[in-house]
Amino acid sequence: MATLVPGPALYVRASEFMYFVYLDEFGHIGPYCGRKARKHNESPVFGLAGMVLPEQQVRPFASYFLKMKEKPFHTEIIQSGKMSAKWEKKGTSFIRPNPMKKYVEARRTVLRILRKIGQCNGHVFYYGREKFRDRDDLNPIGLYTTCFAHALRRLDRFSTRLGENFVVVVDQHSARKELWECAVKTMYGNQPCRALASPPFEVESYLN
User: Which whole number is the average pLDDT over 199-203?
Assistant: 86
User: Which whole number is the average pLDDT over 56-63?
Assistant: 94
Backbone angles phi, psi at 203, to 5 degrees: -135, 165
Handedness of CA 145, 136, 94, 83 (dihedral sign): negative
Backbone angles phi, psi at 147, to 5 degrees: -65, -40
Give Cβ neighbours of residue 202 (< 8 Å, ≥ 6 apart).
170, 171, 172, 173, 176
Bigger pLDDT: 135 vs 10: 135
**Burial degree of 193 (CB within 10 A; 0-12, 13-18, 19+):** buried
pLDDT tens per residue across span 112-150: 999 999 999 999 999 999 988 877 777 888 899 999 999
**Burial degree of 86 (CB within 10 A; 0-12, 13-18, 19+):** exposed
pLDDT tens per residue across span 144-185: 999 999 999 999 999 999 999 999 999 877 777 888 888 889
pLDDT of residue 13: 43
pLDDT of residue 11: 41
> HEC string of 131-197?
CCECCCCCCHHHHHHHHHHHHHHHHHHHHHHHCCEEEEEEECCCCHHHHHHHHHHHHHCCCCCCCEC
* Distance in angstroms (rounded) separating the CA atoms of residues 201 and 170: 6
Give the chain's mean pLDDT: 84
Quote the DSSP letter at residue 117: H
pLDDT band at 14 (very low <50, low <70, confident <90, very high): very low
Give Cβ neighbours of residue 112 (< 8 Å, ≥ 6 apart).
68
Residue 46 pLDDT > 60, yes or no? yes
pLDDT of residue 4: 60
Bigger pLDDT: 174 vs 47: 47
Residue 95 pLDDT > 90, yes or no? no
Of the chain, the percentage scoring pLDDT greater than 90 comes to 38
Q: Reduced to 3 states, what is the DSSP secondary structure of residue 204?
A: coil
Nearest to 26 by CA among 142, 179, 156, 143: 143
pLDDT tens per residue across span 83-93: 888 888 877 77
Residue 5 pLDDT > 60, yes or no? no
Q: What is the pTM of this model?
A: 0.82
